[in-house]
Amino acid sequence: MSNIKYINNKQAENLIEENDELLILDVRSANEFKESRISNAINIPVDELEGEIYELEDYKDRQVLVYCKSGKKSSVACSLMEEEGFSKLYNLRGGILDYEGPIVNK
């Protein structure tokens, strides 16, 4: 059974509102992250995630919301994280393009 749940915009907003311990992980490039991001997100680009995953060790058993621009890179990131033992992963379908909650802009 997969530890990855694919959620929509509204479900993501609810998850963020209801969980102070939630890690929000943006897997887009550093430049995209600087332009706009979901509030309180951290950035580890998907192509750097494998080498940086140790930094997220404390979140293996906590809820992690992963997003990118459209949902494709975050799906790859979720699969990698699941292989590394992360158990509560949420992938934002449609990525930041479909997200309607609070966004931090440059």
Q: Exposed, middle or buried: residue 101 (CB in 10 Å: 0-12, 13-18, 19+)?
A: middle
Does 78 participate in catalysis according to the annotation?
no
- Among the listed residues 68, 81, 92, 96, the single catalytic one is 68
CA distance 5 to 63: 11
CA distance 3 to 63: 10
Active site residues: 68
